[in-house]
Structure 1
Amino acid sequence: MVSGALRRQGAQQLRECAFPSRTSSCTSERHIFRVCRPQTAASSQFLRPRIQQQQTRHFSGTSCRTTPPSHSSETQSSLPSSRLSTPSSTSACPSPSHSVPAAKSANALLSRQSAPSAALAGPNSLIWGSGRSPTMAAVSMLRRMSSTPQLRNESKDPKDSTAVKTEEAKKEGEPEQDHLGKHGFQRSEKAEKATQVNMAARLSREGKSQTKAGFSEVWRLVRIARPEFRWLGVAFVFLLFSSAVSMSIPFSVGRLLDLATKGAIEDVRILGLTMNQFFWAFGGVLTIGACASFLRIIILRIVGERVVSRLRSQLYRRTYTQDAEFFDANRVGDLISRLSSDTVVVGKSITHNLSDGMRAIVSGSAGLVAMMWLSPKLSSILLIMFPPIAFGAFIYGRVIRNVSRKIQRNLGTLTKIAEERLGNIKTSQAFVGEAQEVSRYNQQVRKIFSLGRREALISATYFGANGWFGNMTILALLVVGGNLVRTGSMSVGDLTSFMMYTAFAGSSMFGISGFYSELMKGAGAATRLFELMDRDPSIKTTVGTKVKSAQGPIQFKDVTFAYPTRPAVNIFKGLDFVIPSGSNVCIVGPSGGGKSTVASLLLRFYDPSQGSVFINGVDVKTMNVKSLRRRIGMVAQEPVLFSGTIADNISYGRPTATRAEIIGAAQKANCQFISDFPDGLETHVGPRGAQLSGGQKQRIAIARALLKDPDILILDEATSALDAESETLVNAALAELLKGRSTTISIAHRLSTIKRSDQIIVLSNQGTVAEVGKYTDLSADPSSAFSRLMEWQMSGSEAPVDPPRQGGHVTEKELIEDDLEEPVPEEEEELLEEEEEEEHKTKSTPNTKA
């Protein structure tokens, strides 16, 4: 425990030293070592050393054993420098004069000029020696500094120390820290522009804010249920009948009690019936009421399920018709949460809650009318108690709606974390990130638990207060009603009926309160759903002239484009080129040059900021997007397969394709591996094609594109995962199949793919066309951009281009970091690892003894 506390405090102090901007300036001696810490980008590697009980420190080949001090870290940090100079640990080291002079080593910590000494002592000894704990290093450093007046005076003023280090860095030719980014890389002009993010397409976390307590959402839910109004009317009739039967019970009990108190009830008739006849008739009425209640419940539940199914269908269809900008700005996990958990909350508020709420409203209203008829005086007591209960229900509904919104938002974040992390589980395990990911997930779980606890506290307070008000009301009714019976103003039967009606009205009031709270929860979730349903995509897929054929020349005319989420970073600036009809064109360029963006603009995932894209002289903006995409085949660099069979994935673009056509497309794409599967084309590929290799998925994607029989075929590194033999066969099949018929656009780095193209378009990092020509012409010129690009690729080095653009898309990781307010503590990760080790030792102990 002590070593853990020492380690955590030492690590915290060193973090404050490494990142002085996070802490206030301090000139006291207890924090004097902050200004001696070398502030380099590499300093983070020293923040998590492995602490051992006994460690060895080397000074020019001489070892030193150091025993940790016995006093606590709090005592160490609070001691003055005079006390810190007293030896606090036993050391068997030779004098520093035998190795590195103390003054020189201290100066090395300040100015980083003693490179030979630091290299001799090892990388970790630059701070605290090889393997020494951070707190021990701080004590040792303070001890050396306290014995050097010059160092103490220099470090009293952090500003002066920083200025000295800056001048020394200039002399050594090192870049100044102020000109470096927080990650140690110099920020380019493009990086500055990339910070200008446009998130207009991003959905809000809690839905659109409403001034009223969710009544607009409730009204929209009612409008969604409009096709079911006829069945709702039938259910309401059954509800009235079952409620009337329930309300007749208190009246009948009151009449029987009045007759019993008078005596000789054998000859008394009720409603013209003898007692036995009345009981049999009343039992039949109750049976009919139960049947009416059964029909009412089942009709309302079925109607509610229909409404929820309709809502889910509309929401999913609306989500699927959104444009690419929408999916760039929103994470998939949040959309899945809206489609799943939000619709469950709304469905519960409509199905179960609607049935119970309507019954509570009808029964409560009938009970109040009966009470007013029996005793207006006692009813006035209820009217006094009603306003505070109603006001409390209104406040509770508003509060619970806001809490429900926050819970749904955090559930969306939780779903997003799980979806991304579990989808990349192999990468996480390869980097031993299990503890970090579990801690990240648990952090979000704790947020949801905190909100759930708050919701429980609010609900307990409200319903507890309601129960107390109800009990006090019954007590007041008994006191006043007893006086009325004693004075003869009211019979015992009437008082009993009144009390039973009060119980009915009280339970109905509780039912109405629960109905209102659940309705507000549903309204909070419905806000997020309706925000998604109300968003109109910027590119309408069903508007425009239908495309019967996409054959013809393709022209990019003065195209300027930036991704909508990063409007300040231009991918293209005046891009101009023409692709002849039926040709095989290859687009090459440096990474981040916009090669795949050409395909996105051609498929009209985005529209250019300026300029136009033409197919056979027609602007694609005037075309029907769906019909255009039906005439274009696409094979992405990372092919995506859906859960299902191989045949389902090949026929995805043409669901009506025959079995023979599917087999033909698979053979042309060299999918011979299908014969090795027992089920052949009916083999299930698993989620995202997890059961297949990269090359197998790529060939299925090629077969899927060929089955569409497209006019334009886009191959984005389509053969990058194939071996040489498969690539040769696939390329030969594509060349024979598409020659002079379809326009093929290849985005490639492989020289074999580039050689077989008719024309090569070389893109520059400035968003323009560097040069256009055939392979023989471009490769013959050693000074051409294409030759330099090929030379860099053949040598295995990176092209000397501008720093890569900050991606045009807002990544999933960036969106996750927006939602996670606090980083995962390093101490928590270390504690998780220690717990796993202790648990492993505990399990292995009995086996060792055995």
Structure 2
Amino acid sequence: MPSDTAVTLRPPARDRDGERRPGAATSIWRFRSYLLPYRWRFVVLVVVAVLGIGASILVPLVTRRVVDGPIANSDRPGLYALGAVAIAVGVGEALLMFIRRWIVSKATLGVETDIRTQLYAKLQRLPLAFHSRWASGQLLSRITSDLSVIRRFLGFGLVFLGVNILQIVVVVAILVHLYWPLGLVVVASTVPVTLVSLRTQKIYTKLSRAVQDQTGDVTSSVEEMAHSLRVIKSFGRADHVFGGFDRRSVRLHDTAVSRVRVQSTFWTFLDVIPSVTLIIVLALGALAVAQDRVTLGTLVAFTTLMMSLVWPVTSLGFLLSMTQDAMTAADRIAEVFDAENTIVDGTRELDDVRGELAFEDVSFRFPDASEDVLHHLDLRLAPGETVALVGATGSGKTIFTNLVARLWDVTGGRITLDGVDVRDLRLDRLRQLVATAFEDPVLFSMSARENVALGRPDATDEEILAAVEVAQAQFVHELPYGLDTRIGEQGMSLSGGQRQRLALARAVLARPAVLVLDDTLSALDIHTEALVEEALRRVLVGVTGIVVAHRASTVLLADRVALLQDGTITHVGTHTELLATVPAYRALLSAELDPEDELLEVAS
């Protein structure tokens, strides 16, 4: 049986200032499993890249033979032959570059798609405790921009970081072999490059992490604005919201400029070193040629090979920056993959469901909270019974309803369905048996039909229309394309009552064993509510129901009423019994309107 201890989330892999925490993923190497399906493409990619480097090294050596041979000896046929070899090598190098770019595009796009798919699946599995602590913009930036950073690194940075280092080592060895005094000058020039690279790495890593986190903050601002546009406009707070966005954007700009400053200084230094080294080599080489210690062809080959090092050395700054960006992106994505899934899937099935639901000494506490929201809560619902849950605002009614489908897990006691702890059931089976309609309905940017059939995609048109009738959502037939009308993101083209009715139709269509209505009728006018309630009376026959209610008319849907006070159920009974004997219950209903008047209105 699952433990009754409170759940906690693993801390982020990094602080916002970029400092790694113990146990954090420090390398993109952890994503190596995603490379395995494309390993042969990457092997071919490395081979082709190495062959391309070999071709670029071969050209200066052929040039040396041309200068010291055909040109020095006026051998025209030999000049033509070696010239043809040089042209063939150049064409081969260009062909290898085309093959490399074609292979890398297919491989890296495949890796990016695989990681994004797994990341999305992970986000779907993570509990509400995780999503309540993360801004959606931060998650969005990880699944888009951070993955793009990793793709670019895999397609270019990872390969050429290794290949360019190999080229530098091989070319320096050849230079030492051609003329060791000048070769030692080139070797000496690598020392300041190494020292500056090590010094710059830590500063750049912090700034890179800050830029990526602040990009997530800006993304969150844009997303919140898009979802809250109606509220912003209605209160005339556009300037206020823009000010917050502007502050985040300026902060991102300043951090990005600081990163560019560090990056530019490093790249400039890497540009200067080869130029200074080349001047020294040309001066010493010319002196060596004048003293017959080296041939002119050797000096030409030496300088040409050394010039071929300008790009590998200069690109080290770009490649190291790309590596740090990819490492930071990998750590940010790893934060999601490493997040603990506290809602553990059970293994039991449940057939022939009767719908007996029991809360046994249930307690609940939010992660990192010091006090329970619910405690010592006991309630038993017989199969087919409907219980109305009544309580003041903030008393924990929504959490109570969320516990049934394990959107949150209890931190004490247990909830059973037909005597089986819901934590022992398979999640997909449990959520087929329990359908919830929320007070704040969530609709998707799809057609009204698809929104209603979300829980039962195989439902027939007749079943969908029946659910629409129960929810009194006939307004869908007046939409431009009826049920096939796309209702826009978050259903913003509909009123609050219309959204609630579509969400209610979705819950009804699921045909659950347990139907949970979390104040689903709050946005309906009293006449529409009366029609919905009349239909629900028929739907709730044979279905175990929990109805969060504020009005006496809604309470009358239930067989019994449970009063939630101070985090626990204090009274259970019929509406008439509680109205006559419990002042707190009477006061809650009269806070909305006089219950006797409402009963008379419904009766009429």
- TM-score with structure 2 setting the length: 0.91
Partner Cα distance (2:328, 2:203) in 1: 10
* Alpha carbons 1:396, 1:517 under 8 Å: kept: no
Partner Cα distance (2:359, 2:73) in 1: 103
- CA offset digits 1:714-761 (Å, max 9, x no partner): 11112222233432332222222331x111111011221112321111
Partner Cα distance (1:375, 1:352) in 2: 33
**Corresponding residue number in structure 1 for 2:207:** 403
Partner Cα distance (1:615, 1:208) in 2: 46
* Alpha carbons 2:365, 2:374 under 8 Å: kept: yes
The amino acid across from 1:733 in the alignment is A
The amino acid across from 1:746 in the alignment is V
**Corresponding residue number in structure 2 for 1:705:** 507
- CA offset digits 1:92-141 (Å, max 9, x no partner): xxxxxxxxxxxxxxxxxxxxxxxxxxxxxxxxxxxxxxxxxxxxxxxxxx
Partner Cα distance (2:338, 2:25) in 1: 17
* Alpha carbons 2:445, 2:487 under 8 Å: kept: yes
- Quote how far apart the aligned CAs of 1:489 are: 1.1
- Quote how far apart the aligned CAs of 1:263 are: 4.3
Q: Give the counterpart of 1:257 among 67, 70, 84.
A: 67
The alignment status of 1:243 with 2:42, answered yes or no, reads: no
Partner Cα distance (1:716, 1:239) in 2: 61
**Corresponding residue number in structure 2 for 1:562:** 365
The alignment status of 1:484 with 2:484, answered yes or no, reads: no
The alignment status of 1:683 with 2:485, answered yes or no, reads: yes
Q: Using a 3 Å threshold, how does the CA distance of structure 1 residues 661 and 754 change in structure 2: closer, same or farther?
A: same
Partner Cα distance (1:738, 1:582) in 2: 7
- Quote how far apart the aligned CAs of 1:599 are: 0.8
* Alpha carbons 2:364, 2:410 under 8 Å: kept: yes
Residues 627-646 of structure 1: pairs in structure 2 closer than 5 A? 627-646=429-448
Q: Give the counterpart of 1:791 among 565, 587, 590.
A: 590
Q: Using a 3 Å threshold, how does the CA distance of structure 1 residues 527 and 263 change in structure 2: closer, same or farther?
A: same
The alignment status of 1:308 with 2:112, answered yes or no, reads: yes
Partner Cα distance (1:475, 1:208) in 2: 40
**Corresponding residue number in structure 2 for 1:722:** 524
- CA offset digits 1:409-432 (Å, max 9, x no partner): 111122222222332233233333
The amino acid across from 1:582 in the alignment is G
**Corresponding residue number in structure 2 for 1:226:** 36
SS of residue paired to 1:249: helix
* Alpha carbons 2:359, 2:414 under 8 Å: kept: yes
**Corresponding residue number in structure 2 for 1:286:** 90
- Quote how far apart the aligned CAs of 1:528 are: 1.1
- Quote how far apart the aligned CAs of 1:547 are: 3.1
**Corresponding residue number in structure 2 for 1:551:** 354
- Quote how far apart the aligned CAs of 1:690 are: 1.0
- CA offset digits 1:756-781 (Å, max 9, x no partner): 321111111x2222211112222234
**Corresponding residue number in structure 2 for 1:128:** none
Partner Cα distance (1:738, 1:436) in 2: 47
* Alpha carbons 2:385, 2:559 under 8 Å: kept: yes
Structure 1 portions without partners, runs of 5+? 1-196, 270-274, 797-850
* Alpha carbons 1:392, 1:462 under 8 Å: kept: yes
- Quote how far apart the aligned CAs of 1:205 are: 5.0
The amino acid across from 2:261 in the alignment is L
SS of residue paired to 1:329: coil
The alignment status of 1:612 with 2:414, answered yes or no, reads: yes
Aligned length: 589
The amino acid across from 2:552 in the alignment is L
Partner Cα distance (1:490, 1:366) in 2: 21
The percent identity for this pair of structures is 25
Partner Cα distance (2:182, 2:241) in 1: 63
**Corresponding residue number in structure 1 for 2:554:** 753
* Alpha carbons 2:25, 2:334 under 8 Å: kept: no
* Alpha carbons 2:59, 2:89 under 8 Å: kept: no
- CA offset digits 1:617-643 (Å, max 9, x no partner): 222222222211111111101111011
**Cα RMSD after superposing both structures:** 2.5
Q: Using a 3 Å threshold, how does the CA distance of structure 1 residues 678 and 552 change in structure 2: closer, same or farther?
A: closer
Partner Cα distance (1:228, 1:504) in 2: 31
- Quote how far apart the aligned CAs of 1:234 are: 1.4
Q: Give the counterpart of 1:432 among 236, 245, 256.
A: 236
- Quote how far apart the aligned CAs of 1:209 are: 4.4
- Quote how far apart the aligned CAs of 1:279 are: 3.0
SS of residue paired to 2:217: helix
The amino acid across from 1:633 in the alignment is A
Determine which structure has greater relative contact order: mean sequence separation of CA pairs < 8 Å that are 6+ residues apart, divided by chain length.
2
* Alpha carbons 1:558, 1:612 under 8 Å: kept: yes
Residues 787-826 of structure 1: pairs in structure 2 closer than 5 A? 787-794=586-593
- Quote how far apart the aligned CAs of 1:594 are: 1.6
Q: Using a 3 Å threshold, how does the CA distance of structure 1 residues 198 and 573 change in structure 2: closer, same or farther?
A: closer
- Quote how far apart the aligned CAs of 1:264 are: 2.5
The alignment status of 1:319 with 2:120, answered yes or no, reads: no
**Corresponding residue number in structure 2 for 1:575:** 377
- Quote how far apart the aligned CAs of 1:458 are: 0.9
The amino acid across from 2:489 in the alignment is P
